[in-house]
Chain A
């Protein structure tokens, strides 16, 4: 009986952890990221052979990263 209860508790804890992480990710992190404007929903998967001639991006010289200002930033 003790072992069954122990296993049952472990399953419950795992479910709680899973649910908690899920809630945190979608309920907290996602809205926070959107609010702080550090998220943008890009379509990262591409279709082959679209009409662009080049996939190069210009280097963003004055990039700012929210939260990254905690670091002593050296960006030229």
Chain B
């Protein structure tokens, strides 16, 4: 049974292919088109899935789309009707698009599929899942759990913004939901907008900014914007938001509540934005924990799966884990809408077809989330030669030794290995890596490599076997979805003067023996690396540990701000030549900046719209 899942037309279009229940391939369209969060029909991602699997389009049994467009239209129309006459401007903007395109998405999909193979009657093979069901399926079915509660929280699907499901074996049933416009995702996005970041891409910046602030607006938020019940269910006070009828997230009343208009992008951050970030983060954590408690109480389940965009809030996930409400938590690495493609395929396989589910006893079915394209050594060499790159080829052991030594010497490396990750995080396949012990690495990477805001922290990739020795965390975090604190023994005590520092002044204080990955509140977003899922990455970190006694390295995504993570060797070379990365490693090819033709150097930082 071969099922292709597709997500498209909103943000983060993707395709995923499962064969007899096994996840074979998955990729986001943005990685091919180089358009961040590309929402277009994922033609390239689909082509990749088919090519990788060796299947032709006619071999597909079903194609499953991740949501129901007409139900979305239902929501839109009813919202306009409920708020009329307010919202006419928004109506005029959205209705032409719907009337011309979005109402006919089924036809659009059928036409696109016909381009793959016009001899197939695709109308018999095209099915539509529901948005939250797709998310829930993406979380439960690849998990290692026979049964579990599933909590999905996002901006909105068709109507649902928050849902609880119960998964058992090959079955999954949604039992409760909350509807638009009452959305935790939109509440967080409202503050993302208000603090001057881009909605749908800036939320994790708000999360990273939160530790610089104090949660002094929590009561203001809870008294005016959101009513949270004991079971975690909530409603928003729409008098303060504009997203139902307007073209912005917040309105004048919201601005008056917090005493100022929204920050303009690229204007320097102030303590106010940091405090707002801290406050909305605290409220989000409170809602998530209350939701989890009520889910545990109602379902009696000891396992929890999470999905939906809000599940990418790894700070909240870490707090949830420490609350010990559930024995085990598993989170889909592509928890946003890209993962909906995978979920849609799984809905088709298990729920539509009723197929049997095989569960890995100890591991999940995501294959480390390394589901994207890979390139053979021969291909890599040919492609790099074609773009004029100069490289040497090292053997496996030599390569690891060289890279570990280079990291130890304080240089950043662009690391392009194996299959590309599926989801927003780089996990050691398309990564920029550095020395976690370096006090200057964070500044270097932010300003000279990633060209991004200086407050943003970096994350460690640590050997699984050593994580409990360095962090207040002892478990698996292979997808960088949990935040935990650096263990006290590795922290550096601060004097009174440093303790009193506020806001961005905290940034330059060295807080631990691994300053490059220690955030201002001693936290870190951890990736545990196992030899089974990424042996080469594990070997590199192991060798680094032998040289330095430190079992972790900095791991950040291989891209600059506003750019999708690199996919091909050519993408990697371009990013390498456009930044101050000194070494690039693609497969067994090593490229050093000083040997490259400087005619290929790019002014890369301005190539992409800032996110």
Binding site for B on A (CB under 8 A): 18, 21-22, 25-26, 29-30, 33, 38-50, 52-59, 65, 67-68, 70-76
Contact = CB atoms under 8 A, between A and B. Distances in A.
A55 B178 contact: yes
B233 A54 contact: yes
B106 A70 contact: yes
Given A41-B81, A52-B229, A25 B177 contact: no
Contacts of A38: 74, 77-78
Contact of B77 (A29, A47, A50): A29
B88 A22 contact: yes
Given A46-B238, A72-B126, A75-B130, A56 B79 contact: no
Interface in B162-178: 163-164, 173-178
Given A44-B181, A59-B175, A67-B70, A53 B229 contact: yes
B394 interface: no
B81 A71 contact: no
B177 A45 contact: no
A24 to B, nearest CB: 9
B77 A70 contact: no
Given A42-B82, A72-B126, A57 B178 contact: yes
B351 A76 contact: yes
B177 A68 contact: no
A54 B231 contact: yes
20 contacts: A33-B81, A39-B78, A41-B82, A46-B238, A48-B223, A48-B237, A53-B231, A56-B164, A56-B177, A56-B233, A57-B179, A59-B163, A59-B177, A65-B68, A65-B70, A67-B74, A72-B126, A72-B127, A72-B128, A74-B351
A50 B181 CA distance: 17
A40 B175 CA distance: 23
Nearest to B79: A44
Contacts of A57: 176-179
Which of A44, A46, A57 has the most B CB atoms < 10 Å from its CB?
A: A44
B129 interface: yes
Nearest to B228: A55
Contacts of B231: 53-54, 56
A57 B83 CA distance: 22
Contacts of B182: 46, 55
Contacts of B233: 54-56
B101 interface: no
A65 B176 contact: no
B84 interface: yes
B244 interface: yes
A26 B348 CA distance: 39
B235 interface: yes
Interface string B203-237: 00000000000000000000110010111011111
